[in-house]
Structure 1
Amino acid sequence: MATIVVPYFDDAEVELAQEADRDDAKSIVALNAFLALTSADREADSRHVFACYKDFYAETGEPEWLDEEMGVPASPVEIWNSIRPGPLTLRKGWGDDDNWYVVIEAECAWDAEDGIMLVWRNGTTLSKVGPYNGHLTNANAYGDETLRDVVYKARNAEYMTRIVELGSR
């Protein structure tokens, strides 16, 4: 497997666990689009990952051990200090979904057991955040088309996030 540099994660090196499909130009476009994202894009996406953390934190009763272990993020942007990106894969959407998705499995300090799955539709739009479940969208994961624009599907509705404008960053 190849190792690639990902500007979105401050030039972190990650394993490219699955290369682009050379027979489908859209997969190459998605990978290149993702590799064009920067730390500014990551900052713009912070609210989704922070919501995931806050939901977990609330669900587990705001544990002091977690505060001691990872600290308390003072802002949504600081949540990225608790994320370590892992392998990157490219996957085509299911059924009539002809989008390509860039998927990163990452370690996160608040949920060491499950980690976090980050998915970008066509390499440009963070479209799913949550525990790794193998699904590319929340609509697929829950069999519910009303979740098509949901990025983080929270246990506590207060923390659910959506793509601001479907089809754009």
Structure 2
Amino acid sequence: MEKHITSKTIGKLNQNSDFSDWWESTEIKIPFLDNRKLKITFMDFEPEYDKKFIEEADQALTNFLKMNIEDRNLISELAYQNCMDFLDLIEYDEADDSLREIQNTDEIWEFIYPEKIYISRRYKNDKDVYISIACNCDWEQEHGLQLVFRQGKKLTRISSQDGHLTEADAYAKPDSQDKLLSEF
């Protein structure tokens, strides 16, 4: 029997057949991503144990779905810097020249390919709801790129896809020492 949950913001999400605590939507237009359609997955969610998750996820989604291209362009510099930091660490490859030749940081989005959106609760410290956009990108083919938004309001992490919602969690440091998170 197929199980599902209902979000007031994005409708019905079906339980994933492989992971019982994952719930997947149909494809949703994402204004932040120029209306690209992506599935949204509620992760690590067991309805019987987290009664407030859907309500908090809906609020985060409402916040996130209000963001548009202009909001995305406000974080272009951070995405561009992530790219340049990575390129500075690896050996020169002429295949990366198009990245090195970027004149306007908003051009970085031409090299980023959003694939999935995940919503989950952080189980450390704030226990807040975060939205993660998992992307492929031209500079980091192995680990890709993730953009993480606390409460769907503000970017609080940009990094390779490592499964962590915050720099604080990834590097076992206090939230106050996590630059983007502490600016929330």
Q: Which secondary structure does the structure 1 equivalent of 2:39 belong to?
A: strand
Cα distance change of structure 1 residues 71 and 96 upon mapping to structure 2, 3 Å threshold: closer
Return the TM-score normalized by structure 1: 0.82
1:124 matched to 2:153? The reply is yes
Map of 1:52 onto structure 2: 82
CA distance in 1, matches of 2:63, 2:150: 10
Structure 1 position 71, deviation (Å): 6.8
The structure, 1 or 2, with the larger RCO (C-alpha pairs under 8 Å, 6+ apart) is: 1
Map of 2:42 onto structure 1: 18
Q: Which runs of 5+ in 2 are unaligned?
A: 1-23
Q: Which runs of 5+ in 1 are unaligned?
A: 152-162
Structure 1 position 26, deviation (Å): 1.6
Q: Which runs of 4+ in 1 moved over 6 A?
A: none
CA distance in 2, matches of 1:125, 1:62: 33
CA distance in 2, matches of 1:147, 1:96: 13
Give the fraction of aligned pairs with identical amino acids, expressed as a percent: 25
Q: Which secondary structure does the structure 2 equivalent of 1:34 belong to?
A: helix
Map of 1:91 onto structure 2: 120
Letter in 1 for 2:148: V
Counting only pairs closer than 5 Å after superposition, residues 4-153 of structure 1 correspond to structure 2 as 4-18=28-42, 23-24=51-52, 25-67=55-97, 72-145=101-174, 146-150=176-180
CA distance in 2, matches of 1:18, 1:34: 14
Q: Which secondary structure does the structure 1 equivalent of 2:75 belong to?
A: helix
How many residues matched? 153
Return the TM-score normalized by structure 2: 0.76
CA distance in 2, matches of 1:95, 1:114: 24
Structure 1 position 148, deviation (Å): 2.2
CA distance in 2, matches of 1:136, 1:72: 31
